[in-house]
Each structure stands twice: as C-alpha cells, then as structure tokens.
Chains A and B, each alone.
Chain A
Amino acid sequence: MAVVPKFVGERIKRREDPRLISGTATYVDDVRLPGTLAAVVLRSPYPHARINSIDVAAARSAPGVAAVLTGADLKDKVGGIPCVAPAEHIPFHPLLAQGKVRFVGESVAVVVASDAYKAQDAANLIEVDYDPLDAVSDPEKALADGAPILHEEFGNNLVTRALVPNPAVDEAIAKADKVIKFRIVNQRLAPVPMEPRGVLADWHQASGHLTVWTSTQIPHLLRSALAAVLGLPENRVRVIAPEVGGGFGAKLNFYREEALVGYLSRMLGKPVKWIERRRENLATTTHGRDQITYLEVPVKNDGTVLGIKAKFICDMGAYLQLLTPAIPGFSGLMMTGCYKIPATSFEQVMVFTNKMATDAYRGAGRPEAAYIAERTMDMVALELGLDPVEVRRRNFIPKDAFPYATCAGLVYDSGDYNTALNKALEIVDYPKIRAEQAEALKHGRYVGIGVASYVEICGIGPSVMLPPKVPGWESATVRMEPDSRVTVLTGISPHGQGQETTFAQMAADAFGIDIDDVAVVHGDTAIVQYGVGTFGSRGLSVGGAALMMSVSKVQDKLKKIASTMMEAPPDQLTFANRTVALKSDATKSIPLQAVVDAAYGWKMPIPGMEPGLDATSVFEPTGCTFPFGTHISVVEVDPDTGVVKFLRYVAVDDCGNIISPLLVAGQVHGGIAQGIAQALYEEVVYDENGQLVTATLMDYAAPRAQMLPRYELAHTVTPSPLNPMGVKGVGEAGTIGSTPCVVNAVMDALKPLGVRHIDMPLRPEKLWRAIRDAKKA
C-alpha cells in the first residue's frame, strides 16, 4: 500500500486557493435566493446634524419599492447595536439614526426594492431636512469646554477613562539621568477588505426561522447578538459566514445592516440582500488605531530604560461597536514590548468624535504598542548617542526569565529576543550596511536602517482576557466518518487564514491518513457547534488545541477498539498509512477501516461501548502566547522629493512551532504589507469639520504590490508551553513588526539632518519639508 506522507511542517499549498483563484468561491453576493429583494441604505452627508424631518412618500411609491424605513419606524421595535466592552458612557446605537446623525455615512433610512437599482432610484427621492451642527473630529479637542457634544445625555464626549497608576514610575522619573518626552500618533486606518461587507437574510414564516448569510468573522457571536436585537430565540437563528474575502478585525463585529436586513426580511417575509459599496466600506466599516500617545521615558545614560509613563487619547468615533473601548487596553498593556522595564503607568482617555467607530484592526492595540516601544528604543538611542541595536540588547528580557511577568501584569509565555535580533542582523549584515550607509551619506544619499524587535499577544484567552460574551475558549468537533475519512468542525470560522489546510494537516497526521481525506467545515451555526472565532491570531493556538483534544478522544476510542482486535495494549498502538499499527513493529497492523467498521457498531467488539466516532472539545487556554521577532529595513529617502525607496526588508519572526511554512510566509507577507502601509501611505482623513476626505480609493492609499519591497523572511522557533502544538500565532506579526521598523529606518535616514520624529504616514511631502527645513536651518 502506498505510504501516506506526513503533512505537519511541510510546504503544503493552501487547499482554499483553487476556488479563490478560479473565481468559484461563494461570497455573500454569490448566494442567490429566488425572490430576493435588495436593500439600499440612505446615509448622512453630514458629520453632525439634527434631523428635522424625513419625507419618504415619493420613495415609498416609486416603482418596485417594497419598504422604506427610517429611525422613527424602528423606535422601540428593535434593539440597538451592542458594545460588550465596559465603558463609562455607552450610548444607544440605533440601526437607523434617531433624530440626529453623528458621522458621515450614518444610516438614516433604508429602501427595499425589487432590485438594487430601483432601491437606489427610490433612495434618491427621500428628502431629509437636516439642521447641520458643529462637529468635532480632533479627539484632543473633543473634551475641551464648548466642544460640540455628540450624545447630550452624557454632558461631554468622554467614553471612558482608564487609569493604571504606578508611583514607581514617578520615582524613576525623579532619579533618571534623563527623561525623554515625546508625542506620537497611531493614525486612523481603514481595513479595506477586498470583499466589503454584505448580508442576505431569509425569514421562513412557517417555521419562524431566520437564516442570515453575512461576511463575518464571528458567526456564533453574531447569532447571539442578532437574536437578542431582533428578539428571536437563538435556536431559530442560523448564521452562515460563506467565503469571507478578508476581515482584518473589521468583521469581528456586529453591524447595523446585519440587524436591519434581518428585521426587513422578517417584516416582508422575503429574502433581503444588502451589499456594501466601497464608499460605504470606507465610511461605515470600523476603522482601526487612532491613538495619540504622550510619553515620558526615564533612562540611565547607558541606555537602560527605567520606566514608561504614557497618556493616551483614543478616538472611539461616534458610537461604540462590539469591542471599541476594549482595544486601547492592549496598547497600554503591551507598550513595554520585549523589554525589562521595571515601572510603567498609563492613562487612557477615550473620546467620542464625529467619525466612524474604531475597533479591532489587524493587531488591535498591539501595533500601537509595538510602535510606542520601538520608537521609544530609537528615541533613547538618538538622545543618548547609542546604537539602537545596543539599546535593545541592554533592555531585552533575558532568555532565562520566562515565563516573565511584566509590570503591567501580563505573563509572557516564552521568548528568546536576542537570538531573533541576531539572526536578522546577520541576514542584513549589520556592520556592512552601516558602513554602506555612511559611505552613501558622503555622496548626499540618505540611507536609513530601521530595527524593530517586537513582541505581541496572540491566542487570546482565557475568557477573563476578553469582555463578557466574547469568550476566550474555542471548540472543535472531530468525526471519523464510516469510510474512515475525517470531518473537522471548527468554531474559529477562518476567513482567509487557511485553517482548512493547517487543520487538515494536523488531523491527517494524527490518523495516518491523507490530507485529502480530511474536510474542514466552518462558518455555519446550524452545522458547527458553538464557537468563538479567530481574531488575535487565536485560530491555531486555541482552535487548533481544541482540535487536538477532539483528535485524541477519537484516537483513544479507535485504539481501544483496535486493542481488542489486535490483542495489544492501546498505548502500544499508533496510526500510520491508514492502519492501526504496533508502535514497536509497524508490520503488525490492521486496516484503519476495519477499526472504523467496528466502531460504527457493525462488528463492535467492546460490549456496551457507544457506537460512532466523534468527539467535541473546548479548549480554554491558561494564558496568551507571545510571538516575537525582529524586522530590519533599509531605505533610501530621495532628498529632492521625499520619496522612500526600500533597499532591503528582513523579517525574522518567531511564532513557535510551524505547522505550515507556506501559510506562515503568506501571513507575514500580508502583514508586512499592511504595516508598511501604515508607516508610509494609509490614513483615514476627516477634515476639521468632520467631512470624510478619504471617501474613495482614489484618496485612501491602500498599498499595491509595486509599493512594497521584496521580503527576506526567516524564523527562530521558541515553542509556547501553553498548547499541545507549541504554536504561538502569526496572523498579525508582520503588521506589528513592520510599522516601527520602517519609521525607524526613515528617521534614521534623516538623522544627519537633525530630524527627530515625524508622524505617520510618512508621506513624501512631509519628508521633503523636513529635509528642506533642515537644510535651510
């Protein structure tokens, strides 16, 4: 019989890709139900305005129109959008504006018609009488006296204030050789998934069942929220996440349209579909980042960092989405990065502004933290005249200090920061590029070298790490079918990460079967047991651990049965080449199929044993994993134009053990792309009056391939002790390491001109001005 190879650790091509690259995947908009009506949402052109009246008469009588609803029609009939993270002020978040609009794009009315064109025609007939109000878009101005107030009932624009004080920081500041102070901004970004959001809802009147197809990362959590908002029992709501064309955290949420479309389908007794347009996506899908941080860093002259004191101003936007006020916490907790910093304290002021809500975006709080930590290290080096690499080395948490409890109260599972740094330095040949840099400068060329040694949190769990109703565990069912093929049902609902591949690799190896003998099923609440979802790179470390728990339960049962058939103790048995074999002698084996036949009860050899071969498990980790690494980039800044050109980009990432090298590379590539884009290109811009300037992709600079360098990737491997696979997570690492790495490189290039810091994105114009001003001075 042909030998079945091993799959874990091999360069397996993604099993998801053929359908994606051949255009045969099924996204929400590809789901076609007969008689479906189309919904179009009418949105506010104003950042802040009172609604005096809405005249929908003409729209209601327009051809093909089935329904037109405004906020007034929904009042007291349906709940609001929940925010599950604690905050002092959580406003009611309606599905359609109630009396007032608070950001550009806020939904004001919805039209349902026989097709989207007719719905749009009718929407254009709606007349809204607005009284424009002053708006505030600058979070630092939102709390000032006299600032326009978004939610009058609170009396001000404060969402919440979080304070993690520590008198030791002030002591460190008092006794430091030097205190470095600076302000940095993590600008607002738009996640821009290739597939915008979309919802199709189908109410079945006779059975009282609602089925909702939606482009989401969290079908089960969404089902709970949707059932609550619509007042339906959870067992009558089915949520299906079909192919999801990118989420990046933006679809780790519950949106107005998801509830609206569900409501409309029930109201009309017909399927209703809404597909988000790109402009809507940029204006009304959650944004990320938007934090301003004031830092005070006491240091010794040798580069030892004694503490970090930070004040954050965090822009939450106009309403709170699912996790909005929970995101900044991660920035505060992680801002010490991979460094042994004895004292930290932080204050976070979260405010309402007339903008779309912020929430999780790839990295969710950790990119901001890594940016703070890594800019801090470079600032320390700059101010003390030290090499940035030396400053990092001096402050690293040493390898033998793990598990390491940070002064913010986290426990880092495992780490070896120096080895990753050394590997990256070796790949770029640090002494050589420093020499080349000095030589280039002699010829008027501004070359810069940027280093970022990051650490981040992955595998989010246990549940206490997360707000109520977003548990920290994950579920998996493993079922060996009667033909000895395996079906895996996972709660993580992957949406691009590739667990149809990695989970199949793991299950195939565990049972000695081929990867093609494993089917991974997800994203349908009627099929898959309750699960949480993948975000914070928890798919493999938490969901994979649940998978392995179920795998071993099924293995145990198979071994017990095989043991009676082979007259060998179960612990002497193993799975290979579609057989159950003696560990000591693989030639002594019986076909796996024979054991499966027995298990299904046709020849059950163990009296009283429950027939069948499936197991469901839930894994709740005891702690988070902390992947890390060092990225180094070499850039050149054109002094004539300020344009940044990449000369090298090296990433050394440590995500623990690697199940699937190709998928890890893919995650790192995509992550770096988005991280570089934050450093150089992307910014959601609202003008001072709250108008959205980056309303289309003609203005919002999402990165494209030619704007990115060639990546040189390498890894170190420091397994996590917290899950059976020893994995950490890699979905966000690239985003987290790359942003500070690139900013550090550009600032290093401009160091000879005396430039200290420029806020992102490092648009050529900003660099050109800095260079020009420096040369003038």
Chain B
Amino acid sequence: MYPGQFEYHRAASIKDALDLLKRYGDDAKLLSGGHSLIPMMKLRLAQPAHLIDVTKIAELRALSESGGKIVIGAAAPHDAVATSSLVRDKLGLLAEAAAAIGDVQVRNRGTIGGSLTHADPAADYPAAVLALEGEIKLERDGGSRTVKAADFFLDLMTTAVQPGELLSQIAFAPIPAGAGYSYQKYPHPASGFAMVGVAALVSLDRSGKIASARVGVTGLGAKAFRAGAVEAALAGKAADAATITAAAAKTADGIDALGDIHASSEYRAELARVYARRAIQAAVARAKA
C-alpha cells in the first residue's frame, strides 16, 4: 500500500495553515500526527494532493491555563497531555483518557486535534471531552467559532469541522475540587482502541448524594455520546451500588451498537453497561476520598 503523490507544506502559524487551506481547497488536508490520515492515504481512501502539517505551530502544541480555563492545543501529542502536571492536576480525566491511548509510540505521535477531527468511533478522547464539556475552537479564514463537545460529534467519522476550518484548541473548565472521575476502557484485542470506553465525572453534595454526573461513552455506537439517561438516573440519588448499577444499566439504551468479530453489538452493549458501572463507581470512590 503506497500513497499517491502529494506535496508537503509545513505551516508556520495558524494563519499560514488557513492560507494554504484556502489556496488548495479540496485538494488539501491538514496533517497532524498522521496516525489516521497516512493509513487512509496508503489505502488510497484519501488522496490529498497537498498536506499541511500543523504540528510545528507552537501555539497548537501548547497546554495552558487562561481565563479560568485549561486550554489544550490541537497538535498536543497524547503523551504531553497524559503527563502534563497542569492537566493531571486540573483535568485528571483527560489525562487518564490520554494515557489509555495506544502505546508510547502512538502517544508520542497522535494528537488530540487529529483524534477529535478524525472521530473514530472507538477513539478514547471523545468520551472524556464529552464528559468534561470541552469547548472546541475552529478557525477559518477571517474568523473563528466555538463548538460544544456535545455538538461536535455528528456521526461515524463526521464532525462539525467544515471544509476550510482548522481545529485550534479545546478549552475546559477545571474539574471542581471534590469531584471524582474515572476513565475505564476495554481495549480492543486487535486495534487497542476502545471496544468501549466510559468517562465518568461525579460531584457529590454535602450529604454524600450525587449532585451531578456526566458520563461520556465511546466505542459503542457510530459516534461517542453523553449517556443522558444514566446521568439523569444518578442525579440527586444516593451514591450507592444499587443506584449506580441501575443507572449504568441504561448506558446502551437507544444506541445502535457496533459489532465485529471480537464483540457483537449485544456483547458490546453489555460491556458498555459494565464499564459504565465501573467508571461511575471509581469516580464516586474518588469523590468520597
């Protein structure tokens, strides 16, 4: 499998990248870690004539805190996110999801912007970004817009990113003190992606009841999603095993579960319920600790 011919451009700034995107239009693709794009090119499922590498744009690699938000640059490799003390302290759930991706080589190459834009239904990040209600910034020639995580993933490998747009950063409110979180993943035995992955973020009130819960699920359906029914079944309830089990039982409700030789849709739905229960339990345990 050999890719078709293409020209490689190294963008020096966001503006530079946007200019190149504008110049080459449909013939161009942004290149980040290349871990999804290049395999597609080798299979000739993608045949861009121009690749615009965004990974040398300093501001796209930055991890920072500003205006009360934690801001992750789109070209930050998974390993940088997993090991950053800023992210680990204030956005532990994202660091956990990043650390669960692939192996060391993959984490040093793949990037959060590439992962979110590619929107593989089994990617790890989307579950955490949904649970953390990330705000995704998209730049285009002459402006930018912000899309909420909940509005970002549209379908199988389809997102809100429009032609000509570049994902520059994702901003998150830090996880409040006292909240607990956990990302639980069952790795696919072949690909290592999430057969299912569940990100749970739980806050308890003073009496120990669940004040709010946010649950992001990946791997199960065509796109990652927030498990609204699970969240509703937790809110305001006692943080006990019975409540959690009953709530987690709703994880796959209404979802058209994917299936393959390693896990049928029926089994995958069960895995999602089990992993949701485990993630919520672990998040509650952390919140109580």
Binding site for B on A (CB under 8 A): 40, 116-117, 119-121, 124, 277, 279, 640-641, 643, 681, 683, 685, 693-694, 697-702, 704, 707, 763-765, 768-769
CB of A445 to closest CB in B, whole Å: 16
Q: Which residues of B contact A699 (CB under 8 A)?
A: 190-191, 260-262
Q: Which B-chain residue is minimally distant from A685 (CB atoms)?
A: B261
Given A124-B44, A641-B271, A765-B262, are A702 and B4 also a contact pair (CB < 8 Å)? no
Q: Are B274 and A641 in contact (CB under 8 A)?
A: yes
Q: Which residues of B contact A763 (CB under 8 A)?
A: 189, 262-263
Q: Which residues of A contact B208 (CB under 8 A)?
A: none
Provide the bound-state CA to CA distance between A120 and B5, in Å. 11
Q: A698-B191, A768-B267 are in contact. List 9 more A-B contacts (CB 8 A).
A: A120-B4, A121-B5, A640-B274, A641-B270, A693-B261, A697-B191, A699-B190, A699-B191, A763-B189
- Pick the residue among A116, A641, A697 that contacts B186 (CB under 8 A): A641
Q: Which residues of B contact A116 (CB under 8 A)?
A: 2
Provide the bound-state CA to CA distance between A654 and B87, in Å. 52
Given A124-B44, A641-B274, A765-B262, are A117 and B190 also a contact pair (CB < 8 Å)? no
Q: Which residues of A contact B4 (CB under 8 A)?
A: 117, 120-121
**CB-CB contacts of B135-176 with A at 8 A, as 1s and 0s?**
000000000000000000000000000000000000000000
- Pick the residue among A117, A119, A704, A769 that contacts B192 (CB under 8 A): A704
Please list 27 pairs of residues, one from A and one from B, whose beta carbons are closer than 8 Å in the complex, sorted by A's number: A40-B2, A120-B2, A277-B1, A641-B270, A641-B271, A643-B186, A681-B189, A683-B261, A685-B261, A693-B261, A694-B190, A694-B261, A698-B191, A699-B190, A699-B191, A699-B260, A700-B190, A701-B262, A702-B190, A704-B103, A704-B192, A763-B189, A763-B262, A763-B263, A764-B267, A765-B263, A768-B270
Q: Which A-chain residue is minimally distant from B262 (CB atoms)?
A: A763
Q: Are A765 and B264 in contact (CB under 8 A)?
A: yes
Q: Which B-chain residue is minimally distant from A703 (CB atoms)?
A: B189
Q: Which residues of A contact B191 (CB under 8 A)?
A: 697-699
Provide the bound-state CA to CA distance between A702 and B260, in Å. 16
Provide the bound-state CA to CA distance between A342 and B197, in Å. 54
Q: Which A-chain residue is minimally distant from B44 (CB atoms)?
A: A124
CB of B276 to closest CB in A, whole Å: 12
- Is B3 among interface residues, defined by CB-CB distance under 8 A? yes
Looking at B1, B5, B186, B190, the one whose CB has the most chain A CB atoms below 10 A away is B190
The 10 residue pairs across chains A and B that have the minimum distance between CB atoms: A701-B189, A120-B2, A701-B190, A765-B267, A698-B191, A117-B2, A640-B274, A277-B1, A116-B2, A681-B189
Q: Which B-chain residue is minimally distant from A38 (CB atoms)?
A: B2
Q: Are A117 and B262 in contact (CB under 8 A)?
A: no
Q: Which A-chain residue is minimally distant from B5 (CB atoms)?
A: A117
Provide the bound-state CA to CA distance between A693 and B190, in Å. 13
Q: Are B261 and A117 in contact (CB under 8 A)?
A: no
CB of B188 to closest CB in A, whole Å: 8
Q: Which residues of A contact B260 (CB under 8 A)?
A: 699
Provide the bound-state CA to CA distance between A704 and B103, in Å. 10
Q: Are A698 and B261 in contact (CB under 8 A)?
A: no
Q: Which residues of A contact B44 (CB under 8 A)?
A: 124
CB of B211 to closest CB in A, whole Å: 28
CB of A279 to closest CB in B, whole Å: 6
Q: Which B-chain residue is minimally distant from A768 (CB atoms)?
A: B267
Provide the bound-state CA to CA distance between A702 and B192, in Å. 11
**CB-CB contacts of B40-83 with A at 8 A, as 1s and 0s?**
00001000000000000000000000000000000000000000
- Pick the residue among B1, B192, B261, B270 that contacts A279 (CB under 8 A): B1
CB of A683 to closest CB in B, whole Å: 8
CB of A667 to closest CB in B, whole Å: 24
Q: Which residues of B contact A641 (CB under 8 A)?
A: 186, 270-271, 274
Provide the bound-state CA to CA distance between A640 and B191, in Å. 22
Q: Which B-chain residue is minimally distant from A763 (CB atoms)?
A: B262
Looking at A681, A704, A765, the one whose CB has the most chain B CB atoms below 10 A away is A765
Q: Which residues of B contact A117 (CB under 8 A)?
A: 2-5
Interface residues of B in 1-54 (CB under 8 A from A): 1-5, 44
Q: Which residues of A contact B263 (CB under 8 A)?
A: 763-765
Q: Which A-chain residue is minimally distant from B122 (CB atoms)?
A: A698
Provide the bound-state CA to CA distance between A116 and B2, in Å. 7
Provide the bound-state CA to CA distance between A699 and B259, in Å. 12
Q: Which residues of B contact A701 (CB under 8 A)?
A: 189-190, 262
Looking at B44, B262, B274, the one whose CB has the most chain A CB atoms below 10 A away is B262
Provide the bound-state CA to CA distance between A700 and B189, in Å. 8
Provide the bound-state CA to CA distance between A683 and B261, in Å. 10
Q: Which residues of B contact A697 (CB under 8 A)?
A: 190-191
Provide the bound-state CA to CA distance between A681 and B192, in Å. 13
Q: Which residues of B contact A698 (CB under 8 A)?
A: 190-191
Looking at B5, B103, B189, the one whose CB has the most chain A CB atoms below 10 A away is B189
Q: Which residues of B contact A279 (CB under 8 A)?
A: 1
Q: Which B-chain residue is minimally distant from A121 (CB atoms)?
A: B4
Provide the bound-state CA to CA distance between A685 and B263, in Å. 14
Q: Which residues of A contact B262 (CB under 8 A)?
A: 699, 701, 763, 765
Q: Which residues of A contact B274 (CB under 8 A)?
A: 640-641
CB of A496 to closest CB in B, whole Å: 22
Interface residues of B in 190-244 (CB under 8 A from A): 190-192
Provide the bound-state CA to CA distance between A251 and B44, in Å. 29
CB of A35 to closest CB in B, whole Å: 19
Given A765-B264, A765-B267, are A707 and B5 also a contact pair (CB < 8 Å)? no
Provide the bound-state CA to CA distance between A769 and B267, in Å. 8
CB of B15 to closest CB in A, whole Å: 32
CB of B230 to closest CB in A, whole Å: 17
CB of B260 to closest CB in A, whole Å: 7
Provide the bound-state CA to CA distance between A390 and B17, in Å. 72
Q: Which B-chain residue is minimally distant from A683 (CB atoms)?
A: B261
Provide the bound-state CA to CA distance between A763 and B186, in Å. 13
Provide the bound-state CA to CA distance between A698 and B189, in Å. 9
Provide the bound-state CA to CA distance between A622 and B103, in Å. 49
Q: Which residues of A contact B2 (CB under 8 A)?
A: 40, 116-117, 119-120
Provide the bound-state CA to CA distance between A701 and B188, in Å. 9
Provide the bound-state CA to CA distance between A355 and B15, in Å. 52
CB of A738 to closest CB in B, whole Å: 17
Q: Which residues of A contact B186 (CB under 8 A)?
A: 641, 643
Provide the bound-state CA to CA distance between A648 and B4, in Å. 49
Q: Which residues of B contact A707 (CB under 8 A)?
A: 189
Provide the bound-state CA to CA distance between A124 and B2, in Å. 11
Q: Which A-chain residue is minimally distant from B267 (CB atoms)?
A: A765
CB of A358 to closest CB in B, whole Å: 19
Provide the bound-state CA to CA distance between A768 and B4, in Å. 44
Q: Which residues of A contact B267 (CB under 8 A)?
A: 764-765, 768-769
Looking at B1, B3, B4, B186, the one whose CB has the most chain A CB atoms below 10 A away is B1
CB of B273 to closest CB in A, whole Å: 9
Provide the bound-state CA to CA distance between A732 and B56, in Å. 48
CB of B244 to closest CB in A, whole Å: 14
Q: Which A-chain residue is minimally distant from B191 (CB atoms)?
A: A698
Q: Which residues of B contact A764 (CB under 8 A)?
A: 263, 267
Provide the bound-state CA to CA distance between A120 and B4, in Å. 8
Provide the bound-state CA to CA distance between A350 and B264, in Å. 32
Provide the bound-state CA to CA distance between A116 and B42, in Å. 12
Looking at A117, A121, A643, A699, the one whose CB has the most chain B CB atoms below 10 A away is A699
Q: Which residues of B contact A693 (CB under 8 A)?
A: 261
Q: Which A-chain residue is minimally distant from B259 (CB atoms)?
A: A765
Provide the bound-state CA to CA distance between A764 and B187, in Å. 12
CB of B8 to closest CB in A, whole Å: 14
CB of B40 to closest CB in A, whole Å: 12
Provide the bound-state CA to CA distance between A279 and B44, in Å. 14
CB of B130 to closest CB in A, whole Å: 23
CB of B80 to closest CB in A, whole Å: 22
Provide the bound-state CA to CA distance between A764 and B4, in Å. 40
CB of B268 to closest CB in A, whole Å: 9
Q: Which residues of B contact A702 (CB under 8 A)?
A: 190
Q: Which A-chain residue is minimally distant from B261 (CB atoms)?
A: A685
Looking at B191, B192, B267, the one whose CB has the most chain A CB atoms below 10 A away is B267
Provide the bound-state CA to CA distance between A642 and B186, in Å. 12
Provide the bound-state CA to CA distance between A769 and B264, in Å. 11
